């Protein structure tokens, strides 16, 4: 069984991405992955869309089921791993996140749309590509109305500052070196147009690993700048972000000074190198001995809202290792946990009152040849259209250099684009 394929020019369609977004909305399961034309090192695709689930893989053994799928099939899979996927059930003491995403969920899509420059490639098992293209072309963009949504912190500021002090005490006692601590802001009984909200979020904060992703009633509106893990041939590549500083887009000189400030920040370099070492260790478990290298350390990259410090780690994957071994060795990603990983994940469960769910997890795709690319789910809105629950989480890396008030302000900075979209 093969998909019908056809390429189309979209040079005369200025709104074709928005039209595709609107076209996939009725599907119960879909994924819209967009890099917003960032031409960064290790670029994969401009925009990749999947809609309609012919087959679903989920549950506690999702990684093993993916490996089993590729023993007999050569096809695309799209989906996610939630942060808690690798956490044993008997350790899960926090409240389950109400957004409603599965611990892991992958689907074999009926329809795939690949955008490269001004060309759109449509592949479909069940439909004629011409018919799909004509439907998309006929769509008129609906400008949805955005309401003002006031989110409440699950943890008030005083409690947050006290928790950061507790975590600093753990660091001083040698329990850990760095820990990523997150807090949630939420609203209930919310009517939301997910597509319009996603469009607004990515207009305000376009980022290279953005996605609109839907698992039945659960919607993820993600403006992530971070890649978790990419496989291309034998190479595994991870690009953790640690180090964030605001931008000043109204003053070029001041913006450059802020960029230099991040470049020279001992606190951020300390945070970044600890995660780099953790990722090197993770990859060493599945890569050829001696092949794991740091190809870029402390790279500074500028995004619409912030400057970020990004490092790149590579290794040569051993041929006997599949998704089961990769997930076991490296998930959840070090940039969202800290070091040492096992202990900080225990502390996260102790001090964060609610599970993270798909936040701090990864959304991405696997190609028929088993190459893949996954983001880190940050800078995201989570929404369930059945329970009407809306949520976003933000966090920062706590090290011995951390000041609780500054960590709180970093969280607010990371939430700036989301709060802007929500009308605050």
Mind listing the pLDDT tens digit for each residue in 94-150?
999 999 999 999 999 999 999 998 999 999 999 999 999 999 999 998 777 777 999
Q: Work out the pLDDT band at 417, boundaries 50, 70, 90.
A: confident
**Beta-carbon contacts of residue 15 (< 8 Å; ≥ 6 apart):** 141
**Beta-carbon contacts of residue 393 (< 8 Å; ≥ 6 apart):** 182, 183, 184, 185, 356, 359, 360, 380
Which residue of the set 84, 226, 316, 410 is catalytic?
226
Provide the 3-class DSSP secondary structure of residue 314: strand
Provide the 3-class DSSP secondary structure of residue 33: strand
Provide the 3-class DSSP secondary structure of residue 424: coil
Count of CB atoms situated within 10 Å of the CB of 165: 11
227-232 and 235-239 as β-strands: parallel, antiparallel, unpaired? antiparallel
Which contiguous run of DSSP H or E holds residue 280?
helix 266-284
Q: Is the pLDDT of residue 416 over 90?
A: no
Mind listing the pLDDT tens digit for each residue in 306-350?
999 999 999 999 999 999 999 999 999 999 999 999 999 999 999
The reply to whether 342 belongs to the active site is no
- Look over the chain and give the mean of its residue pLDDT values, rounded to a whole number: 95
The reply to whether 73 belongs to the active site is no
**Is the pTM value of this prediction over 0.75?**
yes
Which residue of the set 17, 230, 231, 242 is catalytic?
242
Mind listing the pLDDT tens digit for each residue in 26-53?
999 999 999 998 888 898 889 999 999 9
All structural domains of the chain? 4-231+339-421 (3.60.120.10)
What is the average pLDDT across 1-15? Answer: 92
pLDDT at 290: 97
Q: Is the pLDDT of residue 414 over 90?
A: no
pLDDT at 304: 85
Mind listing the pLDDT tens digit for each residue in 61-76?
999 999 999 999 999 9
The 3-class secondary structure across 146-212, one letter per residue, is CCCCCCEECCCHHHHHHHHHHHHHHHHCCCCCEEEEEEEEEECCCCCCHHHHHHHHHHHCCCCEEEE
């Amino acid at each position: 069984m093969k998909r019908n394929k056809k390429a189309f020019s979209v040079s005369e369609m200025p709104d074709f991405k928005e039209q595709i977004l609107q076209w996939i909305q009725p599907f119960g399961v879909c994924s819209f992955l967009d890099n917003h034309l960032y031409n960064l090192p290790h670029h994969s695709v401009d925009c990749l869309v999947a809609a309609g689930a012919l087959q679903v893989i989920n549950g506690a053994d999702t990684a093993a089921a993916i490996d089993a799928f590729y023993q007999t099939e050569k096809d695309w899979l799209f989906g996610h791993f939630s942060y808690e996927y690798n956490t044993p059930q008997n350790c899960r003491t926090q409240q389950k996140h109400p957004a409603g995403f599965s611990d892991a969920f992958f689907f074999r899509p009926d329809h795939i749309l690949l955008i490269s420059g001004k060309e759109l490639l449509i592949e479909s098992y069940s439909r004629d590509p011409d018919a799909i293209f004509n439907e998309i072309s006929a769509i008129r963009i609906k400008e949805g109305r955005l309401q003002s949504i006031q989110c409440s912190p699950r943890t008030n500021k005083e409690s947050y500052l006290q928790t950061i002090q507790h975590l600093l005490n753990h660091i001083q006692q040698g329990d850990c070196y760095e820990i990523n601590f997150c807090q949630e802001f939420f609203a209930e009984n919310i009517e939301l147009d997910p597509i319009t909200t996603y469009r607004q979020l990515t207009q305000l904060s376009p980022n290279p690993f953005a996605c609109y992703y839907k698992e039945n009633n659960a919607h993820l509106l993600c403006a992530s700048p971070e890649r978790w893990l990419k496989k291309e041939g034998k190479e595994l590549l991870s690009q953790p972000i640690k180090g964030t500083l605001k931008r000043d887009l109204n003053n070029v000189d001041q913006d450059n000074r802020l960029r230099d400030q991040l470049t020279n920040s001992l606190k951020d370099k300390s945070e970044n190198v600890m995660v780099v070492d953790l990722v090197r260790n993770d990859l060493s478990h599945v890569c050829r001995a001696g092949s794991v290298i740091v190809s870029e350390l402390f790279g500074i990259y500028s995004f619409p809202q912030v400057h970020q410090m990004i490092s790149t780690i590579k290794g040569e994957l051993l041929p006997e290792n599949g998704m089961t071994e990769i997930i076991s060795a490296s998930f959840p990603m070090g940039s969202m946990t800290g070091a040492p990983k096992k202990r900080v994940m225990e502390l996260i469960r102790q001090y964060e009152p609610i599970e993270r769910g798909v936040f701090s997890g990864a959304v991405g795709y696997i190609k028929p040849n088993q190459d893949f690319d996954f983001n880190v789910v940050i800078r995201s809105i989570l929404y369930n259209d059945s329970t009407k629950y809306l949520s976003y989480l933000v966090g920062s890396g706590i090290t011995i250099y951390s000041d609780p008030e500054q960590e709180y302000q970093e969280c607010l900075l990371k939430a700036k684009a989301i709060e802007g979209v929500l009308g605050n």
